[in-house]
Amino acid sequence: MIRRRPLAIGIALFALMWTAACSRSDKPKQASDSAAGTLDSTASKDADADSIPVTPDAVATQSLLRELANRDEAVLDMARLAIGRREQLQVSDDARRIQVEQRRESNRLLGLLKGEFRVTHKPKISAQEQTLLDSLNGVGAGEFDHTFLSVVSKHHEEDAQIIERALPTVSPKLRDTFAEIRSQRLRDAADLKKQLTETPSRR
């Protein structure tokens, strides 16, 4: 019995080492489950992102959605500026309407980014747009109505041009959507131009 004790101890040590090895071999399997979303939310996000093909039309579509959302943010600031002016402006109601419509459109664009590409984007105003806002803020009361309508109308026309240039490169799935947005921007620009004839400059 005494002579067999070292053999028993050796068998026990071997069993412990085998158990530890099996435990380590299970870890890659857990990581795999985690990447599929079972355990680790971060790994799940990475797996989701990798599942979306990074194709040229996907890149172009995301770029256009971001650019339009950023430009919408500038128009929203223009509308806020008009609403916040202390003078009794003829365009106050127009500014409130524009604010509602552009916020709805911005949310739509951001929703497409999130829904189609799982990309979250916070709109930001470019330096060029900020310069435009600053110049609009400096316009006197007598000229503000006319200038506001003119600037927003031109902005919508530029949006339509941006979409038209990008349209052949974007995802075919969203081309009709972008074409619809382009048409709407042109209609809005035409409506504002019509109001310009009813709100002439005082110069």
Return d(Cα 195, Cα 75) in angstroms, integer.
Answer: 17
Whether 202 has a pLDDT exceeding 60, the answer reads no
> Could you say which architecture CATH assigns to the domain 54-198?
Up-down Bundle (1.20)
Length of the chain: 203
- Domains of the chain: which residue ranges? 54-198
DSSP 203: -
pLDDT tens profile 109-145: 999 999 999 999 999 999 999 999 999 999 998 899 9
In the chain, alpha helices (H): 5-35, 41-50, 56-84, 92-117, 127-137, 141-166, 172-198
pLDDT tens profile 58-98: 999 999 999 999 999 999 999 999 999 888 788 999 999 99
